[in-house]
Structure 1
Amino acid sequence: MFRRLFTPRWLGALALAVLYAVGAFQLGHWQYGRHEFKLERNALLDAHYRADPVPVREVLTDRPVDRARDDWTKVTATGTYAGSQLLVRNRPNNGVFGYEVLAPLTLPDGSTVVVDRGWVQNSDRGAAVAPDVPPAPQGEVDVVGWVRPAEGTQDKRLPAGQVASISLPDVERAWGNKVLDGYVVLDSELSADGSAPLRPARLAEPDRSLGPHQAYAFQWWLSMPVGLLLIWLGLRRELREEQPGRAQRPRKVRIWDEEDY
């Protein structure tokens, strides 16, 4: 069997089997990496999502948010909404697409925090018409929410008052004002009189599902020897058929066919 293996035809098959095994190992490793990433994400959520809030300036600075340490950190901020609200297009919320609503919160030190106040559904009059959005409250407000890292820019031309993503360049260009890196997903806000202003719909809680990545990883790894197994079966069958004195299967003989008439 080994001598037969080292023939050009079977060496080519062996090379393909080895390439498949290497590819399956790499794909399994990638899928397991995705599984571990989601485990780490859930551990971060467990530590931060329902924790006591910390002052926003302890987390948000001019530097990018540290995803491994500060993502979903619960923060509190006191300030005043100063400036128009922005709509972020094509944002899903509980399976429905609409807009997320951004507002600039000016802190006592003069810095500005991007606050994602929630979500509104697309207008019934079509995508070209902006939906009705609850206005940001006037005066001082106390805000509680979760820190998220800023997104990458999509560099799209949109109507005034809209952006394609929560990216610093797009937001700063729309507001004409520098903002702190990252943004805050609103949990609650209270006016100075203790009332809760009307706000857009809350965003859905973060996804905690692990997905099928672990199962896919094991499937790829278990399939690694399939090519080698097929080669072994093929060699075994080929050698068996060449054995002298081996009984041959009787050939099928056509007795009749419709074309004979």
Structure 2
Amino acid sequence: MYRFLLTPRWLGILALTLVAAMVMVALGNWQLDRYRGRTAVNERIDAGLRMAPAPLHEALPAPTGGPGTAGPPASEERTFTRVTVTGRYDTDNIVLVRGRTAESKVGFEVVTPLVLADGTAVLVDRGWIPPAPGGAMAQPQVPATPTGEVTVEGRVNPSESGAGTVTRREGRLETRRIAVPQLARELPYPVHGAYLLLDEQTPAADPAFKAVPVGHANNWQNLGYVVQWWIFAAMTLFGYGWVARREARRLAGITDDRPRDRAAA
């Protein structure tokens, strides 16, 4: 009844079906790996919120190059670690990161280099502020930067990718992404290879700043894709079986030589 499955045509259909199912299973496995990776990131974010702050040097290697260079990035295990560090803000090199959203409003994040006692610096994202009247690109009025020694507590964030150009406008640097190596080239000292997202500051930060949360990765979306691809693979195999069975029944009907009841027909 199913000998037709051994014909070249049906063997070709079977091969294509198996290849398609294997590709879908592989795509599901890839999404499963992404789900596990994003879940691990979320767990590190949550752990960083619970932990007591450690000294900066325990989480982020100091830069060893000269002025205008960035140090090595934080290891994966140390990313989102909560740290504390003391230094002085460099008010001559404030960075405005435009096109950032908070509470559905577009504005700027203010990143300021914190210069440490050893002459190196770490970039500190002090928070979000709205633009000046005139549109989302209007340069904002930046709250006063504390002078003198400042102690910062924050979380280690990796350098952002996909950065555009860094420009200087009205005495301040502007960019769209916090790309540490690119920003380091504009600064007169070596810079640590990751930036800090401010949690607390002594003296206290200006209340005009809105805290920037660490965004959790959407790992459940990847898990949904896993289920989707594996269901597609199962449907592909089921579809092959259903079509083969229908063809077998059709052939059985054609070769059935038993007399039919014309009246019943």
Counterparts of 1:1-261 in structure 2 under 5 Å?
Answer: 1-60=1-60, 61-62=62-63, 63-82=71-90, 83-152=92-161, 154-156=163-165, 158-160=167-169, 161-191=173-203, 195-198=204-207, 200-207=209-216, 210-242=219-251, 243=253, 244-245=256-257
Work out the CA distance in 2 between the residues paired with 1:205 and 1:219: 29
Which amino acid in the other structure matches residue 159 of structure 2? A
The number of equivalent residue pairs is 245
Q: Calculate the TM-score normalised by the size of structure 2.
A: 0.82
Bigger CA drift: 179-188 or 65-74? 65-74
Which amino acid in the other structure matches residue 227 of structure 2? F
Distance 1:58 1:239, change over 3 A: closer
Residues 133, 200 of structure 1: 8 Å contact kept: no
Residues 93, 119 of structure 1: 8 Å contact kept: yes
Summarize deviations over 1:9-29 as a string: whole Å, max 9, x none: 322321221121111111111
Work out the CA distance in 2 between the residues paired with 1:2 and 1:77: 75
Bigger CA drift: 214-223 or 19-28? 214-223
Q: Calculate the TM-score normalised by the size of structure 1.
A: 0.83
Q: How far 1:132 sits from its partner (Å)?
A: 1.7
Distance 1:209 1:232, change over 3 A: closer
Residues 164, 175 of structure 2: 8 Å contact kept: no
Instruction: Tell me the C-alpha RMSD between the 2 structures.
Output: 2.4
Could you say which residue in structure 1 is the equivalent of 2:66? Answer: none
Summarize deviations over 1:76-119 as a string: whole Å, max 9, x none: 11111123311112223344332211101111122111111011
Unaligned runs of 5+ in 2: 64-70
Identity of paired residues, percent? 34
SS in 2 for 1:226: helix
SS in 2 for 1:178: coil
Residues 151, 165 of structure 1: 8 Å contact kept: yes
